[in-house]
Amino acid sequence: MEGGDQIMDKVIDKAKILIEALPYINAFKGKIFVIKYGGSAMTDERLKSQVLRDVSLLKSVGIRPVIVHGGGKEITALLKEVGKPSHFVDGIRATTAEEIEYVEMMLSGKINKSVVATLMQNECEAVGISGRDGGLLKTVPFDASQPAFERVGLVTEVNAKVIETLLEAQFVPVISPIGADAEGNAFNVNADEAAAAVAGALKAEKLIMLTDVDGVLNGKALISEITMKQAETLIAEGVITGGMIPKIECCIKSDVENVHILNGTLDHAILLEIFTQRGVGTKIFK
């Protein structure tokens, strides 16, 4: 049984945690953080509620969060249900004119609205939009010569005004990674690329990428901090491979000052990374 002194120590520890966060809260007040939300942190209901409560807390202390969500696993499941297998090349899903209907339904319909609903339940006013709204994500075909990739888009321009308007009105924008070409047709955009493009256009203070690994690893060891140049060297040396390569490359291309790669399955990863000296993931900076 805990005695009175032990209970008091725990209460004082909680106060110390709040005090440790104070310089970070002051430094980041009013700053834009773009959060790429995906992986298990989105499919597991407990983690989902926890991550989005953390986002609500960021907003409460004066940070301006912007969410760009993924949904790769959910799209694969929906396509499977309708008898359409998924094919990926370097992490990019082949998407035909017929398939984009399902992709958009899942991303801009189901997932986008569900993220907004969970934020609203956590006292955080949010508005869901897709990259097709207000000309937010302008795209060109990723590879016009391949019919299987007919509706995969590369972002060429971001209309930041749409997001800035929502931020000024104190809403958290929740963006689904569907872009549009000049004719307004829907294009499937990889969520990492969409998040990086949005962060670059908003000149965000931070781009936070939630994934299912602890961060950038060198073998089994977590790299806590690394420059973008050093990250490029690790790619060239084959230390960073697979899905981590496009993730890091689009961050470098976006010109954002600070990128954090975090394990979204770790409880309160965002708060621990942002408000503690030690952090929990990998910070990649210029």
Ligand X SMILES: Nc1ncnc2c1ncn2[C@@H]1O[C@H](COP(=O)(O)OP(=O)(O)O)[C@@H](O)[C@H]1O
Ligand Y SMILES: CC(=O)N[C@@H](CCC(=O)OP(=O)(O)O)C(=O)O
Site residues for ligand X per CB under 6 A: 38-39, 91, 192, 211-213, 216-217, 239-244, 247
- The catalytic position among 192, 200, 215, 279 is 192
Kindly tell me the burial class for residue 132, based on how many C-beta atoms sit within 10 Å of its own C-beta (0-12, 13-18, 19 or more).
buried
Sole binder of ligand Y in the list 51, 55, 58, 92 (CB under 6 A): 92
End-to-end CA distance of the chain: 50
| Amino acid of residue 80 | K
- List residues forming the annotated binding site: 71-72, 93, 188
Sole binder of ligand Y in the list 50, 130, 190, 254 (CB under 6 A): 190
> 140: closest CA among 151, 132, 129, 148?
151
Torsion sign (Cα): 113, 42, 190, 282: positive
Residue 12 to residue 262: CA distance in whole angstroms: 28
Q: Which does 211 bind (CB under 5 to 8 A by kind): ligand Y, ligand X, none?
A: ligand X
Candidate segments 23-31, 70-78, 115-123, 246-254, binder of ligand Y by CB under 6 A: 70-78
Q: Supply 157's token pair.
A: 């321009």
Q: Which helix (H) or strand (E) holds 214?
A: none
Q: Which does 184 bind (CB under 5 to 8 A by kind): ligand Y, ligand X, none?
A: none
Is 255 in the active site? no
- The catalytic position among 48, 59, 70, 72 is 72
Is 72 in the active site? yes
- Decide whether 171 or 264 has the Cβ nearer to ligand X: 264
Parallel, antiparallel, or unpaired for β 282-285 and 225-227? parallel
Is 238 in the active site? no
Place of tokens 């949005």: 198
- Decide whether 127 or 239 has the Cβ nearer to ligand X: 239
> 181: closest CA among 148, 157, 199, 149?
157
* Shortest distance (Å) from residue 18 CB to ligand Y: 33
Is 59 in the active site? no
Phi/psi at 256 (nearest 5 deg)?
-75, 145
Of 12-51, which residues contact ligand Y (CB under 6 A)?
38
- Decide whether 154 or 239 has the Cβ nearer to ligand X: 239
**Catalytic site residues?**
36, 39, 72, 192, 247
Residues that bind ligand Y in the complex, under the rule CB under 6 A: 38, 70-72, 75, 92-93, 103, 152, 177, 188-191
